[in-house]
Each structure stands twice: as structure tokens, then as C-alpha cells.
Amino acid sequence: MARQIEQQEAELARQLATQEHIYSYPDGSVYMGHMRENDAESIKNGGLSYLRHGRGTLRTPAFVCGIPLKNYTSEEAAENAQYAKWYEYAGTWENDKMNGYGVNVQKSGDGGEIIIFEGTWENGKPTKSVHFKEDRDNHDNELDESVFGW
């Protein structure tokens, strides 16, 4: 019993010990926000050292006509900036998954912004839009995940 209490206290302390980070992923995505240390076993099995946990923003790399901007020369990127598109999620995270309130948007180099989903997320999936109307004839809250850009 004492061992179980120690484990619970250690897990609680680990969850509370979040720190703000800026983290760049190999695919060019960037996360800015709170992270917590991952457990040693997960790291040993190839997991990341830190997990997104708390408030933060994840931005995907920009694309022009399906080609990542990092493959462009700076001159080509500047010429085509108005055609660039990228996705951004700003909201809360739990154990590296979108969880709680968040907004997923598609942004473009011309200053345009399209809100793809705004509402509640659970375990990495959108669950309840703030724009969902309860009085619709169709009461299922199924979402077309193809619009999310992942």
C-alpha cells in the first residue's frame, strides 16, 4: 500500500512539474508551450524526453503547392509566400494529445485564416464544437477528420 501511494505521489509531482519549452520536430513542426518529463520506461522504448502537457501551440511546416517551404530557396519562398498554407493548434494538451479546449486553424501567407475546429478535444480527437447546434435534425456529432490536415 505504501508503495502504491509513493507511485501516485510521484506521478502527481511529475504532472505538476510542467515547464514552458519550444520544441522542433524532425518534420519541421514546432511546439511552443508547457511540457512535462516523460517516464524513463517510455524514453527507453524510444519515446520523447518531454510530452506536451498543459497550454501550448503546435504549428506544422508551411507548404506551397505541396512542397515544404524548407525546400525552397529564400527568394522562391518570398515570391510564393502568399500561396503558403500551414496548420496550427492552440489549446490544452494532456500526455502529448490534444485534450480540453482548443482551436485548429489553417493559415495562409496572404493573412487568411480558416477555423477548422474550435471546441473540446478528448484524447487527440475533436469531440464537441462550440459551433455545434443541439437543435439540428441530425443529432449525431460525427466530424469529417479529413479537414484537419493530418
Identify the band that residue 45 occupies on the pLDDT scale cut at 50, 70 and 90.
confident
Give the three-state DSSP class for 40: helix
* Dist. CA 94–CA 100, nearest whole Å: 8
Q: For residue 13, with 0-12 CB atoms within 10 Å meaning exposed, 13-18 middle and 19 or more buried, which class applies?
A: exposed
**Does the pLDDT value for residue 72 go beyond 70?**
no
Q: What percent of the chain has pLDDT over 90?
A: 25
Q: Where are the domains of the chain?
A: 2-128
* pTM for this entry: 0.66
- pLDDT tens, 74-120? 676 666 666 777 889 999 999 999 999 999 998 877 777 888 889 99
Torsion angle, CA of 104/110/111/112, rounded to 10 degrees? -50
* Dist. CA 4–CA 75, nearest whole Å: 59
